Amino acid sequence: MKRFAVIGAGLSGLIIAKKLSQRTKVVVFEKARGVGGRMSTRYADPFYFDHGTQYFTAHTLEFQNFLKPYVDKGSIAEWKGEVMNLEIGKKENISSWLEPHFVASPNMNNLCKSLAEGMDIRTFCEVAPLEGKIEKMWHLLDKEGAMLGEFDWVISTTPPAQTLRLFNRHIIQSHPLRTARMQGCYALMLGFNKPWDRHWIAAKVNNNPIDWISVNSSKPGRDSKVTCLVAHSRNDWAEAHMDQDMNVTEKLLMEQFVRVTDYPADNADYVALHRWRYATVDNAKKIGSYIDKQLRLGATGDWCESSRIEEVWVHATKLADQIV
């Protein structure tokens, strides 16, 4: 039986691992403490924050069919409510969602947790760059040089910069993967020991360092007795402030949040800031997944086309089918 190494336990890695594990031995390596990637959830009981992916839509029949079993059992549900347009100095107005917006329940990482059930997943494990093959097998090492195992195939679902570090000497210079670029984002998380008292569940913010505000506690399956807010920065603003002191960034975003919402956030019971160095794809064209059937290397992720969850799922599924 062939052995596959999948690097990254976000949605892409877990979709690939689940499809391949039906007929092969698969080990998933994840440098973080758990599964989810951008679909992760920050736990700070009683507060819970989907500080990465906020929601997803389902345009294609294939993705709808994939979601249906989870929808039927309630682990994926539609997020409903009023969404606002906010801008400092202007009157707020309602923005309509023209299609259903879904979230995993009770937290966004629940979908990845379901996919991970029964899999061999090694967390807190960072894989070192690949050297040459030994007797037609990839010998994986961690960053400390410890042996992780021998594998026929290695598939990376990490951001492009990390994938290039892993595969660099084995990818030709002209391959489009080398042109993939990701932009960063900051996520400001605010928790309050009281229910949310506004009529809206989310807001698009205009002309501001903050791009989006989510009332996380308004999502299906969440605790509505507390208020959990997530404010995402604009990508270009985050890029310009990526290496700024986190305390300074947190203060700046907090000030903007109070100004744009007129919500008394200074008395929050929980405040945290997360920096996503690789949050959103910045490609002018579709790149697609990477596969080298001779070397038995593959790569996919939210850099292939866009950072929409559905397109991430499509590219991961296609890559798994190609490998099979």
| pLDDT given for residue 307 in this prediction | 83
| pLDDT given for residue 225 in this prediction | 97
Residue 118 belongs to some domain of the structure: no
* 114-128, 185-199, 296-310: segment of lowest average pLDDT: 296-310
Residue 186 belongs to some domain of the structure: yes
Mean pLDDT of 202-225: 97
49 phi and psi, to 5 degrees? -130, 125
Residues 188, 92 within the same domain: yes
Residue bearing tokens 């907090």:
254
Mean pLDDT of 188-210: 97
Residue 116 belongs to some domain of the structure: no
Residues 237, 276 within the same domain: yes
| pLDDT given for residue 207 in this prediction | 97
Residues 89, 144 within the same domain: no
Residues 195, 65 within the same domain: yes
Q: Residue 211 belongs to a domain with what CATH number?
A: 3.90.660.10
Number of C-beta neighbours around residue 2 at 10 A:
13
| pLDDT given for residue 184 in this prediction | 95
The confidence band for 283, taking pLDDT boundaries of 50, 70 and 90, is low
* pLDDT greater than 60 at residue 107: yes
Q: How far apart are CA 37 and CA 178, in angstroms?
A: 22
Residues 47, 25 within the same domain: no
Cβ–Cβ < 8 Å for 14, 7: no
| pLDDT given for residue 24 in this prediction | 92
Q: Half-sphere exposure (CA, 13 Å, Cβ side) for 260?
A: 25
| pLDDT given for residue 169 in this prediction | 85
Residue 138 belongs to some domain of the structure: yes
Residues 231, 166 within the same domain: no
Residues 98, 138 within the same domain: no
Residue 120 belongs to some domain of the structure: no
Residues 265, 157 within the same domain: no
Residue predicted with more confidence, 318 or 93: 318
Residues 174, 301 within the same domain: yes
Residues 135, 236 within the same domain: no
For 219-261, how does the pLDDT look when each residue is reduced to its tens digit (9 = 90+)?
Answer: 999 999 999 999 999 999 999 999 999 999 999 999 999 999 9
Q: How far apart are CA 280 and CA 253, in angstroms?
A: 19
Residue 188 belongs to some domain of the structure: yes
* Structural domain boundaries enclosing 313: 1-31+125-180+285-324
CA 187 to chain centre: 12
Q: Residue 317 belongs to a domain with what CATH number?
A: 3.50.50.60
For 259-272, how does the pLDDT look when each residue is reduced to its tens digit (9 = 90+)?
Answer: 999 999 889 999 99
Residue 187 belongs to some domain of the structure: yes
How many domains are contained in the chain? 2
Q: How far apart are CA 91 and CA 53, in angstroms?
A: 28
Residues 144, 158 within the same domain: yes
Cβ–Cβ < 8 Å for 176, 28: no
Residues 187, 258 within the same domain: yes
pTM of the model: 0.93
Mean pLDDT of 269-288: 88
Computed over every residue of the chain, the mean pLDDT equals: 94
Residue 36 belongs to some domain of the structure: no
Q: How far apart are CA 19 and CA 317, in angstroms?
A: 8
